[in-house]
Chains A and B, each alone.
Chain A
Amino acid sequence: MTSTHTNSHTEAAKMEQVITEFFYKSLLIILESRSSYVSSRNYSGEQTVSSPSSSSSSSSSVRPRDKWFNLALRECPSALENLDLCRRSNFEPVVVDVILEQKPLDWGPASFSPTSDLVRNLSSKNKNSYFWNSDQQDESGSEMKCEKIIERWFVQNESRKGRDCNSGNRRSSCNNLSALYKKLILMLRSLYVTVRLLPAYNIFRDLNSSGLICSFKLVPRVSSFVEPLTRKEEVDMQRFWFTPVDTSCGRLCLSVLYHSSISDMSSESSTPMSPQFIPDYVGSPLADPLRRFPSLPVSHGSPSSLPFSRRHSWSYDHYKASPPLVSFSPSPTHSESNALVSNPSSLGLPPMSLPPHPPETSLAHKRNTNFDEYCPSPNFSASPSPSPSPSLPIYIPWTHLSKALLRSESAPVNIAAPKLANTPALSGKQNLPPCPPLKITRAGTSRTDNIRVPAETDATIEKIFSFGKEDCWKYSGVKAFSNSSPRISCSRSSSRSLQDDFDYSEFPCPFDVEDGEMMDPGSRKSQDAAVGALVRLLKKAPPLRQNVSLNFSEASRPEILSNSIPKQSQILEAVTVEYAAAPNIASFRLVASKTTTDALEELRGYKVMKNLLLSEGGKAYTSNVASAAEHSSTSKDRSIL
């Protein structure tokens, strides 16, 4: 008798424990598929290991509570265990409301990570409501959020009145217990599959997996008593019943009310934040205009020594012997495509491609942006000086520069880029590291290898060069003419001599005549030859105005540059210009900075000279002819006489 009583008591206790664990397990299954911090979805690290019951897996990987109903799930937060407080007995139901909260888009990141603290809200003596909440919500105020119950789960043990729970013999109760346990296992398996088939799971999965900043979140709320849903709320919901499992004292019931069409609601709210331009991103000149990029070339160095390589639209592939002096580093730091905003896909956000570079606006910092899609600001830097470190950089707003370059007062003449070379002083040690290639695509820009030298002295800086894909240029310095209009001289660091600077062999001089063609000065050909010789002489003549160039280099200041360029303070990109102190360099600069206008003027001068010579020669010829005629006539007269 006593043993029977003990056994039945034991069986009842076991039954009680089984039912309690069933409540716990079912709640865990529901919550872990509706709360990201409880989820087992990311619990895949151990899933590659064989089944927990296999011999190879360590028993320590399976917690004691995992073994209940043979379903090993992720460790639940401690708060879940506090749910026992809301249930005084196994006959009290548990209701789980899955709430879709929608908030404005100005949620901070913290609001999406609700704390695991359990907030107890006792509203009535019959209502014990525990719900997950976050501090951000409390601070912002509940009136800001829009809540909608998209699921309501009921877990309850319906009592069977008028029946003695402890009755029955030992064998039948034992069988009952094992049968009950098996049936509960099956029910929980079904529950596990069902929670993943309901529409709310898609929202949960998207929230967990994607990095989208969503305006909504799922908040499960556990309580033992809730207000019944309104008729309007219930109309849109469907119910799914799990077949109840009979226990010795009642039956365990599990059901769910769910919205079948919440995907529209979530898809509308899951749009990413609208792209915004961030003017002061890290690395932006606006944030730190005087910051020197590590890619600034130094007098020594190799491409590999650069701290980071950036692709530029101009490479020096064509001029490998002479790495350029000017390097252009776009403002965004790296050219590798990182799906920062992406997708999520994925999580991430779809990579957003920037629109073509808007000169008037600030650039958004997009690490995944290809350089093809915008025009970065060039970082003008040059180190023709023998000093090991470049001098103070000068920053020219790229936008101003580009606009200025496009303005021309006179048609520029293309000067072959490779022909513009450095002074001898720039050779050897001054070989600057080549700038990494940078791809820049500008609408309407054709690929050329030429440098367009600014035409007019008082004009704003014309388009110095048109960017090709593979060219990389460095500027050797800035020079201003007497009317204070600055020019940016282009040079290439090479070992070429000054004579190579203006190799006009590609531009045949109309007066250029072979040496052997110097003939009778009286003849027309000889006149041309003389002019050609004069031209060659002028070519080889030493440069003039050396002192002036020095003054100009001193006078060339950033303010001159900035004066010549329309001030647009929104965008200021780094343009580093260095000044050469050496007279040779200055003179080279003088020579190099000869404009096409100067060349034209020279040509005109030569033409005038030619005409003069011709006219003089003609006169001389005429006089000679006349004199010859006279002479002949005289001789004839003489003969006649």
Chain B
Amino acid sequence: MKFCTVKQYFDDENNNNVTNGIATTVIPLPNKHLKIKANNKEMEQYEQELLRNVMPQELTKLILAANYLNFKEALDFFCRTVANAIQNKSVDYVRKFFGLESDFEPGEEEKLCKEFAWSFEGVDED
């Protein structure tokens, strides 16, 4: 079932949604996944490898590709990888990562930060 979309992708030459580089990372995943499905440790290692070789922004593209290909396991895997990469980052880092801007009133943001001041402890430097 997953491979219907993949086949369609190869047939459709004008596909802008999935660039070649991404396809080479996403397509081999099913095989890898089947082999190491139950083994959490290997998945962790693969995740570390992925993070080293691929820029966080590229992960965004991988997520979009996995979503387009309707490939749930890959989507879950990439989302979790991104989450692990950003979970200890600052609010500013997250804004830049997702291309967002703060639309709070000047005083509002400070008030919010105070409410959960303890959650800002131990955050990675930018």
**Are A and B physically bound partners?**
no
Residues of B within 8 A of A (CB): none
Residues of A within 8 A of B (CB): none
